[in-house]
């Protein structure tokens, strides 16, 4: 009974914080599915990540708030046939189902699986109007995070694994001047995540958006410019 009572108290406290959160209210007013949209908005405003015409992949996109922001940021254009289309390509991938977003390609599956990667490549090829090179992506964004167990060593290993997967995907699919955004948490996984990104990108910058809750240890790493092995990169905070 005590465990259940404590859980109810925690759930109630979280719910009260959630419904009174100004970012949650703003997301509801602006039609975003989650407050996370404003995290990407600030990262974009700070580092100029998104431009019309880009090809962007969102890893772990559920519930779709980042895809919503990317769609709005890219904008739309009407072609000669009167068809309205996105000024660029956005593909979201997640294990969970995601409600459709007009103009955005949503794939349900594990991007680590070959079948999902093939489906992603086919989607990019179709969206870009023909055969595309392997490195056709301008921006990869990842808001993925594991379910935290509270055991620091275990959680750090899971976080590092997700970042490793995102980095591997980005290295294989980004254009040379492309960018990668990943979420990390201060603690056991942070230094390892930074080292991994610095192995592959010229610059790696850390940023905590205002929309992140103050008590949250989350930080986003913004990596740009793929480098050859052995070339040093820089980290700014």
User: Which residues are tagged catalytic?
Assistant: 183
143 appears as a binding residue in the annotation? yes
Angle among Cα 55, 67, 169 to the nearest 5 degrees reads 50
Instruction: Report how far residue 79's alpha carbon sits from residue 68's, in angstroms, rounded to the nearest whole number.
Output: 22
Take residue 28 and report the two structure tokens written for it.
Answer: 């509801």
| Cα–Cα distances in angstroms (integers) from residue 6 to residues 2, 100, 133, 171, 180, in the given order | 6, 37, 54, 45, 39
Burial (CB count within 10 angstroms: exposed 0-12, middle 13-18, buried 19+), residue 47: middle
Q: Are 155 and 189 in contact (CB under 8 A)?
A: yes
Instruction: Report how far residue 154's alpha carbon sits from residue 136's, in angstroms, rounded to the nearest whole number.
Output: 35
14 appears as a binding residue in the annotation? no
**What sign results for the dihedral spanned by CA atoms 159, 160, 161, 162?**
positive
94 appears as a binding residue in the annotation? yes
180: preceding bond cis by omega (within 30 degrees): no
Give binding residues as ranges: 64, 66, 94, 110, 143
Give binding residues for S-adenosyl-L-methionine as ranges: 64, 66, 94, 110, 143
């Amino acid at each position: 009974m005590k465990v259940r009572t404590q859980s109810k108290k925690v759930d109630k406290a979280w719910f009260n914080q959630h419904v009174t959160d100004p970012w949650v209210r703003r997301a509801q007013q602006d039609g975003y599915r989650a407050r996370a949209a404003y995290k990407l908005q600030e990262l974009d405003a700070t580092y100029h990540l998104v431009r019309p015409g880009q090809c962007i992949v969102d890893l772990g996109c559920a519930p779709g708030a980042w895809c919503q922001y990317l769609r709005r940021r890219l904008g739309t254009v009407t072609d000669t046939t009167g068809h309205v289309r996105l000024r660029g390509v956005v593909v979201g991938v997640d294990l969970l189902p995601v409600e459709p977003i007009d103009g955005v390609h949503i794939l349900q599956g594990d991007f680590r699986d070959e079948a999902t990667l093939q489906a992603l490549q086919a989607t990019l090829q179709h969206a870009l109007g023909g055969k595309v090179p392997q490195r056709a992506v301008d921006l990869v964004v990842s808001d993925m995070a594991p379910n935290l167990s509270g055991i620091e060593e275990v959680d750090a290993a899971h976080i590092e694994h997700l970042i490793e997967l995102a980095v591997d995907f980005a290295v294989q699919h980004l254009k040379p001047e492309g960018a990668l955004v990943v979420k990390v948490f201060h603690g056991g996984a942070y230094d390892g995540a930074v080292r991994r990104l610095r192995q592959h990108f010229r610059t790696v910058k850390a940023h905590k958006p205002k929309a992140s809750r103050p008590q949250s240890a989350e930080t986003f790493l913004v990596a740009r410019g793929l480098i050859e092995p052995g070339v040093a990169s820089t980290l700014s905070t």
